[in-house]
Amino acid sequence: MSRAALVVSMVLAIGGCSAPSSNHEPGRSLSDAERDGLLRSWGDGKYDSAGHPFGARVFEAETACSPRTGEAQAEGWGADPDDHEGGLLCTLDIPDVSPGQRTLNLRLLTQETGEYTCPDGAGADECPTPPEVLTLRVLDASGSELGKKTVRHDEFRKPMTYQNLWVSFSRWQQSAIKVELTWSGLAPVRIDYLELFRSMRRAVLSPASGVLAGGERLEAQLIGSPLPTTVELSCNGTDLADVVAQLTSDGKLSTDQTEFRTVLQGALAPVLEQCSWPARLLARGRFGASYEAARTTYRQQPVACTFEPNKLRVLLTGFEPFPATSTRDNSSEQAVKGFDEKKLGPHISAMRVILPVEWDVAAAMVVDLVDRCKPDVVVGFGQGRSSVQPETTAHNAKSSSAFSGGTPDNRGILADGPVVAGGPAKLETSLPAQAIVDALAAAGINAGTSGDAGRYICNNLFYAIMHRVQSGPIRGGFVHLPVISQVGEEDRQRLQTVVETVVRETLALDVTRLFEADFEDGSTQGWGIIGSGDGVGWTLVGQGGAGDSKALRYFDPTFNDYGQQGGHGATKGTATTGYISLPAGKRALLSFDLYMDTEAGKQYDTLAVEVGGKEVWRKDGPGSAVAQKTWQRVLVDLTSLAGQTVQVGFTFDTVDGHENLGQGVWIDNVVVSAR
């Protein structure tokens, strides 16, 4: 088929799938058309409650536009190929636009999207070009074009979900502008509103966050109008006004101004001399009644690999506060910093790294850590949603323009394009997203999976992680957390539960159970049990197990203690499993449930675990404190014994015959696994 025929058939298919205007479902709530999650997290005065920039002039499409085609719909002005001819969908005259840089943004959606791919065997000139659905033009009073942008049908990411079509332009004098939106007539569309606002007023810092090699030059820019007079610097919250003044007097810093820009520049090292490390540098300037700021974080050396040997390695990342001026918490930073892996057992070692909110910089840091530190699991956390959302799909696209007017990162940078040039359009998470959601729901935490992490820094990081770990043994993914402006103690506990659940459910994957005994069949077949011969020792009992009815217990059945009432002296007994083959090249783990009602302390009433003739765990030994009269889960790393065939032995020794009136020891749910 020729290119022309392909395009014609594609256009006909678009028109044929369109719903007639009588079926537009004017009462549809558009539940998928929520505002950008990022806007909801900007609680620092940048955006109002409706998602518009403060000071924006907002024009509702159904009342402000002067169209030549289309019709009024429930949430704006729309058009459908079955009922309307292509043409001007909206014209709008806006008077008295003041000087400076402006953005004109349309909020719009389509009811359907399409996939446009080359057919097998087709040449480059036979690949269909997705049709352009809308063209937005901004003209000055004389009719000269100030800006233009088109949107193709395939650029609508999700049906019935609002997105932005925007144009930025500059005015050098106060005058009127004209807006023209032309519709091709090829796909149904709807415009909710247009908004005009001053844009690109920002602070920009160089160099980017990272390790300083020495000799770098600082460049702090304030871009926009009204023109600020000074660039203010602080480091880790400490004002550097005196430092800047002295360095300027010494000729090491200089300030240059143009009509739309102020630049402070010079050697970076002297500016940071009074900073602690890592150094969070903040540059800000006043624009009228508000401040714009940029922030970077500098280090003297790369983040060190701190994983403990012979343990499962979990790399967790969160983000610094966002935007740069924010004085509020970032819930992802607090979640990662507050995570205590010890609650999951001694076999896990976690690294916690807080990343700058910067295009590609955060992603590069994590890729470097994956390469150097070789984690088993890497999970990025970010904020911006109303619930916990494990992301399922990373998209190879980054776009500051995904948010109204263009959104700079914390450094002040805007970015568009692929995350990885030539990479797949999408990459899927290797975290058990649904299992995480189910476990969180069981813990009373609102959660659900998400198939779109946006096109901002979170997705930038998510895609970079998945591109690095794809087709390898490392499991990776990204989880969005709710926005919590000030994280309190109750919030910390819930965030701990979230991170703990993500890690636990992920580590549960790829596990092979080599041996397990819950004793529920009422048998100890395969176990070797050696006692003192005085009626005290390991016995299978029909009650008191961890979460079930049977367990292995060390006690005196006659007196229900472990020897004192029966007049026994010191007793000792061992319960040993059959032979277990630990595979070579894998991490092996022993876990069991334990209940002890005995003397506390190290000297008496000891419990030890031997594997392959080697003691691997002891009650109250290093890192193995045991609480009395409560069930607890014990985990023991057996990786050093990989490749061997071993037995697991549990030995309880009273050491003497005194104070043995407790109920003894229970062992249950013994599991040996490998991954």
Dump pLDDT digits (tens) for 30-83: 223 333 333 333 333 333 335 566 567 899 999 999 988 999 887 889 999 889
Strand-pairing partners, residue 97, are: 175
Q: What are phi and psi of 271, to 5 degrees?
A: -65, -35
What's residue 318's pLDDT?
97
Average pLDDT, integer, range 293-305? 95
Residue 207, preceding bond cis, omega within 30 degrees?
A: yes
Superfamily of domain 3-197: Galactose-binding domain-like (2.60.120.260)
Contact 551, 519 (CB under 8 A): yes
Contact 285, 232 (CB under 8 A): yes
| Range ranked top by mean pLDDT from 382-386, 438-442, 629-633 | 438-442
| pLDDT tens-digit series, residues 150-179 | 888 777 767 777 878 888 888 777 789 999
What the block records as the tokens of 636 is 């023991």
Query: To the nearest whole number, what is the mean pLDDT of the chain?
Result: 83
What's residue 3's pLDDT?
30
How far is the C-alpha of 474 from the C-alpha of 431, rounded, in Å? 10
What's residue 36's pLDDT?
36
How far is the C-alpha of 617 from the C-alpha of 237, rounded, in Å? 46
What's residue 644's pLDDT?
95
In the chain, count of helices (H) and strands (E)?
9, 41
Active site residue 391: yes
What's residue 545's pLDDT?
63
What the block records as the tokens of 300 is 């003297």
What's residue 13's pLDDT?
29
| Residue 206 pLDDT greater than 70, yes or no | yes
pLDDT band for position 116 (cuts 50, 70, 90): low
Q: Please identify which residue in the block is written with the tokens 């697991």.
A: 648
pLDDT band for position 123 (cuts 50, 70, 90): low
| Residue 424 pLDDT greater than 50, yes or no | yes
Contact 61, 192 (CB under 8 A): yes
How far is the C-alpha of 209 from the C-alpha of 223, rounded, in Å? 20
| Residue 252 pLDDT greater than 50, yes or no | yes
CATH fold group of domain 514-674: Jelly Rolls (2.60.120)
Residues 6+ apart with CB under 8 A from 192: 60, 61, 75, 76, 107, 108, 109, 162
What's residue 366's pLDDT?
96
| 217 vs 675, higher pLDDT | 217
Query: Which is nearest to 134 in space by CA: 118, 154, 117?
Result: 154
Q: How many CB atoms lie within 10 A of CB 163?
A: 18
H or E segment and range at residue 594: strand 588-597
Range scoring the smallest mean pLDDT among 234-238, 387-391, 587-591: 587-591
Range scoring the smallest mean pLDDT among 154-168, 489-503, 596-610: 154-168
| 25 vs 136, higher pLDDT | 136
H or E segment and range at residue 246: helix 241-249
Distances (CA, A) of 479 to 30, 297, 384, 557, 643: 25, 23, 10, 51, 36
Range scoring the smallest mean pLDDT among 151-160, 350-359, 461-470, 660-669: 151-160
| Residue 259 pLDDT greater than 70, yes or no | no
How far is the C-alpha of 524 from the C-alpha of 466, rounded, in Å? 46
How far is the C-alpha of 269 from the C-alpha of 504, rounded, in Å? 43
What is the dotted CATH code of the domain comprising 312-510? 3.40.630.20
Range scoring the smallest mean pLDDT among 45-54, 114-123, 556-565: 45-54
| Residue 569 pLDDT greater than 60, yes or no | yes
What's residue 392's pLDDT?
96
What's residue 52's pLDDT?
65
The catalytic residue among 153, 480, 505, 610 is 480
| Residue 251 pLDDT greater than 70, yes or no | yes
The catalytic residue among 458, 467, 505, 610 is 458
| 62 vs 27, higher pLDDT | 62
What's residue 588's pLDDT?
86
How far is the C-alpha of 411 from the C-alpha of 45, rounded, in Å? 19
Q: For residue 576, how far is the Cα from the chain centroid?
A: 44
Active site residue 458: yes
How far is the C-alpha of 319 from the C-alpha of 380, rounded, in Å? 9
Average pLDDT, integer, range 486-506? 93
Contact 105, 194 (CB under 8 A): yes
pLDDT band for position 534 (cuts 50, 70, 90): confident
Percent of the chain exceeding pLDDT 90 equals 49
| 242 vs 110, higher pLDDT | 242
Average pLDDT, integer, range 406-414? 84
What's residue 111's pLDDT?
76
Average pLDDT, integer, range 352-374? 95
| Residue 485 pLDDT greater than 60, yes or no | yes
Average pLDDT, integer, range 267-288? 92
CA angle 424/425/431 to nearest 5° reads 80
| Residue 459 pLDDT greater than 60, yes or no | yes
| 353 vs 47, higher pLDDT | 353
Active site residue 480: yes
Same fold: 3-197 with 202-299: no
What's residue 601's pLDDT?
77
Q: What are phi and psi of 603, to 5 degrees?
A: -80, -30
| Residue 484 pLDDT greater than 60, yes or no | yes
What's residue 626's pLDDT?
85
What is the dotted CATH code of the domain comprising 202-299? 2.60.40.10
Average pLDDT, integer, range 632-647? 89
**In the chain, where the domains are located:** 3-197, 202-299, 312-510, 514-674
Distances (CA, A) of 150 to 131, 164, 442: 10, 11, 46
pLDDT band for position 105 (cuts 50, 70, 90): confident
pLDDT band for position 402 (cuts 50, 70, 90): low
Q: Please identify which residue in the block is written with the tokens 């509702």.
A: 60
| Residue 27 pLDDT greater than 70, yes or no | no
pLDDT band for position 631 (cuts 50, 70, 90): confident
Residue 432, preceding bond cis, omega within 30 degrees?
A: no
The catalytic residue among 232, 292, 320, 391 is 391
What's residue 643's pLDDT?
93
Residues 6+ apart with CB under 8 A from 158: 32, 113, 452
Average pLDDT, integer, range 332-348? 89
What's residue 24's pLDDT?
31
pLDDT band for position 20 (cuts 50, 70, 90): very low
